[in-house]
Structure 1
């Protein structure tokens, strides 16, 4: 069990409350254990910019309804509660890079950036200003201190593990961050919510990207940057032009549907050439990649000298696979898979594991 749920020493903790069941249970358990709990919610997106059809709701995180839910839970727990407006910072740190990535032929992962910059830099700074001992979140991951350093480990509930999104954490940050739910299953968290009588006990989980509540990221990109850009050719790996497309940002590696092509075999997007506005397609065998390079790498251990054996996860829902890993020139890391992998996508995060421990992570180049 997390040390905050075991210690009898009263701590001042800031809980990042999203309005969902995970962060609500986190705050309630810490209050139950006698800690001084302060609830804090990030307001990061102006939902008035999105007009949904009448009566339609979207299961995203960080909506205004979530802010209201977080406030109501804080009132129920009788703890101080603050809403911190990070809309400008979110635009600069998450939305602008999200759009830039798509228009540069990459597929971004905004959740990693939100955690890195908004939660574990800016919100952590607010926690320090309140002289808190810890910033606590509802992530399903674990932080342990052993052999003179902090270690980031997977959550025990393998189906909910969120360590993949947290590879940017530093030793200084991990010293002040705690994840009390890392030792629990989602079912146990729901049971705690019911036992504690929390208003959000039955609230469904958030889905999709918070600032694209209807899942239509193409509409979002065109509203942000304008339509009619990046049109060009759809080209087979052989060099044959098969058709036209209406924007490279509409496609991701591995995509099969929506190509509108006639061919003897099913075709997939295998590369995106944003400079030439070309979408390259090929048969499924062309999706297999034997290796990848990571850039902007964060090491959670001292970088090993020479190649070493580890496991690599190339997407959140991708099971990590065995590989040979080596730091190379320019701060990059080369990962050579034991077996070729499909779905290696520039712009996504690649995370390196030693067993259940995160040892490094970066962005697929």
Structure 2
């Protein structure tokens, strides 16, 4: 009898081995959160004590030494309150990082399980064993690609900011600064299952085109040697929308920073830079100009950018508001959007 084809579960074993460091990274993040929490508790106790002392202080005459001491105590309390807010912000950012780590690795494991199922099916087929479960089939997708250089306007669609943000032309931007050494040495734009990206997609219902916050679900190698990404719109998926999965070409998806930690090496875009950023309160990306770069926190992470979005003027006003956007929701604008007169 002919020998059966060799089969090895090396795929899963290799993947499980590769995730052994994940708990250590999560433990490190959680340990930092715990340290920040202890600092916040100590600071809160000091604030309460000093507040009680200040409340018990009798009124002082203007310009007296006692009045000066009261003013200094108030200034010290205000600084402590700001420090407490900063600690809370850093704790929230680290908690989000922890959730992202778990989510990304769970998705990678899911992809490996599907590959394993496919390998088992191939083994059964070669061995003449009836398949118990058919190989998984890709979900129905819609293919799109990035617009031609200089074409198109501000993306609009089901999650657009409203009629006042329709494509009507962008405001002129300052000359682009030369990238810093850190920006030139940024991590490579590598696509992996579980990574979040800004994906340029077309809605099959109204054919509107926009950049959305999406997550890579599968990576496909095309017959021509290219790569396409199957991405999922988590917001639409949670809402039960059947049109939540898209197939986009690799150049129609821009990888987002996987971490806001300074040591991760992602560029901190400087004032005047043109970027693609999630508009606050939505999951849609629009072009914007950096007004203030993300500030470094005491925990060694980047905070939020201050941005001016194209065509983001309030009714009856010509002033463009400055909006804050998290570091991980901002990327450099694609080359075809890097023109000051881009429409």
Q: What TM-score, normalized by structure 2, do the two folds share? A: 0.24
Q: Higher strand fraction: Structure 1 or Structure 2? A: 1
Q: Higher helix fraction: Structure 1 or Structure 2? A: 2
Q: What TM-score, normalized by structure 1, do the two folds share? A: 0.23
User: Of the two, which has the highest radius of gyration?
Assistant: 2
